[in-house]
Structure 1
Amino acid sequence: MSDFENVTAPPPPPVTDGPVPSDQRTMALAAHLLGIFTWFIGALVIWLINKDDPTKAFVTDQAKEALNFQITISIAMVICFILMFVLIGGLLAPIVGILSLVFSIIAAVKANNGELYRYPFALRLIK
């Protein structure tokens, strides 16, 4: 049995019929950008508002993706804080912050263009 058999791939993006409406693109953009300022709270609110509406599959998917990424970043920052006692956390925390900023902006631009975006590294806790 291989160690990699238990690793799951990211879920496939939802199938969208035609172009994504402007209001859904804006909400997805907001879900990604709010992560910069509110960590996971903004994406959580957007996901909770839209998760039961099947016509907003794009917003739900992107808010869930942003939420998973921001939870991953939060866990990484807690680990950096703990590692500050051995000084390595002081070096890692700015790197994690910059990665969060860069990937959130990339995701926001892709969402505003109506493209489904998957973060390159994120724990998929919310399915």
Structure 2
Amino acid sequence: MSQPPFGQPPYGQRPYGQTPYGQTPGPDGLTPDERTWGGAAHWSALVAAFVALSFLGPLLVLLLRGGTSPYVRQQSVESLNFQISILIYGVVSLVLALALVGFLLLPVVGLVWLVFTVIGSVRSARGELYRYPLTIRMVS
């Protein structure tokens, strides 16, 4: 394989600030790829919940695509913070189940998790910046 001409990026890499071929930014300045990965940062938590570790989905999106776009990074960090917060709330509810209060809190925590994760997925896929309520912001 030969080297690219001087001043040209290596094959498969684009110069910083340029959109990929065939992807024109929308009115919000985001490419379809950025909107897809921003939404994936949220809905991947739903997929990862099947192994009871919903924070793995947003963490993978952050590690794989967080460096390519500020929008994808912001959405994956926001989703990661929410998933960790919900995990903490769930553990506290389990401990409070010993006092019988947790049996009421666990379904509420689960419902809040499901509703806000779906809302975050839809809004992020539309290109909107979504911030979860009730979130402890640990990762920045």
Please indicate the TM-score interval, normalised by the length of the shorter structure: 0.7 to 0.9
TM-score by length of 2: 0.74
**Aligned residue-pair number:** 109
Separation in 2, partners of 1:43, 1:23? 16
Change (3 A) 1:37 1:92: farther
Q: Give the aligned partner of residue 90 of structure 1.
A: 103
Larger Rg: 2
Task: Indicate whether 1:113 and 2:126 are aligned.
Answer: yes
RMSD of aligned alpha carbons: 1.3
Q: 1:103 aligns with which of 103, 110, 116?
A: 116
TM-superposition CA deviations, 1:38-96 (whole Å, max 9, x none): 2100000100112333xx11111000000000000000000011111111111101100
TM-score by length of 1: 0.81
Instruction: Measure how far apart 1:30 and its partner are.
Output: 1.4
Q: Give the aligned partner of residue 44 of structure 1.
A: 59
Instruction: Measure how far apart 1:35 and its partner are.
Output: 1.5
Separation in 2, partners of 1:84, 1:18? 46
Q: More helix by proportion, 1 or 2?
A: 1
Q: Percent identity among equivalent residues?
A: 39
| Unaligned ranges ≥5, structure 2 | 1-26, 49-53
Structure scoring higher RCO (CA < 8 A, sep ≥ 6) equals 1
Q: 2:30 aligns with which of 20, 23, 34?
A: 20
Q: Does the 8 Å CA contact 1:36/1:100 hold for their aligned counterparts? A: no
Q: Give the aligned partner of residue 57 of structure 1.
A: 70
